[in-house]
Amino acid sequence: MTATSAAKRGIPDATVARLPGYLRALDGLVAQGVGSVSSEELATSSGVSSAKLRKDLSHLGSYGVRGVGYDVGHLRYQISRALGLTQDWPVAIIGMGNLGRALASYGGFAPQGFTVVAVLDRDPAVVGQRVGDLVVQPMEVLPSLTEGGQVAIGVIAAPAASSQDVADQLVAAGFSSILNFAPGVISVPDHVQVRKVDLATELQILAYHEQRRTSPGADLEVAR
């Protein structure tokens, strides 16, 4: 219904959402040449409690050594494998406005196993322009991207008004995972995974807490 349609016999959603954080912390340790960590140390560098970390890792298997800790390299590999990052995931970005360009140029995915293989826009004036190493392609190429059975993740960076339209085209082309940066809800068939990133929502959540700081008990008030 909403976002994640419950995984049958898999890793709990809350845990999956934290695994990338552990992975990043482990990469930091690898870079520092650290070979082994305790749950306490790894938890601190990931910003969680050690009990939560251990529970999370216990869902992947028993990869620690009692009395010692976790082997950094091995744990890193196991988390990668659990997340499906032993393969590289090609990604297509739709919508080459400010945000789309920023995402396309941002080097942040590549090291994590994601490669932007195509950038598209429906505006003929934008098609053909260079963005980073790529040339903007028209929407018509979408179906060809999924042909090898490879590209499966689409990123919607189009304006809200056309996000449902883009989502429909992604689904029709055979994409099964969508990361949506456009505000608002998009509806897709059950078998398609959608995740949403929304700036305005995040700011509004911060505003709520910020406001509570200054006017504490403004809960029950004259309702008009």
Residue 1 vs 161, nearer CB to DNA: 1
Residue 60 vs 134, nearer CB to DNA: 60
Q: Which of 38, 112, 129, 162 binds its own copies (CB under 8 A)?
A: 112
CB 83 within 8 A of CB 23: yes
Under rule CB under 8 A, which residues in 32-51 are in contact with its own copies? 45-49
Residue 32 vs 87, nearer CB to DNA: 32
- Work out whether 67 is an interface residue with DNA (CB under 7 A): yes
- Work out whether 212 is an interface residue with its own copies (CB under 8 A): yes
Q: Provide the strand spans (E) within the chain.
A: 36-37, 64-65, 69-71, 89-94, 114-120, 130-131, 134-135, 153-156, 177-180, 193-196
For its own copies, which stretch binds (CB under 8 A), given 9-17, 120-128, 133-141, 165-173? 9-17
Tokens of 55: 């529970």
Under rule CB under 7 A, which residues in 85-144 are in contact with DNA? none
Hey, how many other C-beta atoms are within 10 angstroms of the C-beta on 151?
Answer: 21
Residue 21 vs 174, nearer CB to DNA: 21
Q: Which of 39, 58, 101, 123 binds its own copies (CB under 8 A)?
A: 101
CA distances from residue 16 to 53, 80, 124, 193 in whole angstroms, order as listed: 12, 11, 39, 14
- Binder of residue 144, out of DNA, its own copies, none (CB less than 5 to 8 A by kind): none
- Work out whether 62 is an interface residue with DNA (CB under 7 A): yes
CA neighbor of 122 nearest in space, from 147, 152, 154, 97: 97
- Work out whether 21 is an interface residue with its own copies (CB under 8 A): yes
What does the alpha-carbon distance between residue 170 and residue 152 come to, in Å, rounded to a whole number?
9
What does the alpha-carbon distance between residue 140 and residue 209 come to, in Å, rounded to a whole number?
45
- Work out whether 134 is an interface residue with its own copies (CB under 8 A): no
What does the alpha-carbon distance between residue 63 and residue 220 come to, in Å, rounded to a whole number?
51
Binding flags for DNA, 31-50, as an x/- string (CB under 7 A)? ------xxxx-------xxx
- Work out whether 207 is an interface residue with its own copies (CB under 8 A): yes
- Work out whether 223 is an interface residue with DNA (CB under 7 A): no
CA distances from residue 134 to 88, 92, 118, 202 in whole angstroms, order as listed: 18, 11, 7, 31
Residue ranges that bind DNA, judged by CB under 7 A: 1-2, 6, 12-15, 37-40, 48-52, 54-55, 57-58, 62-70
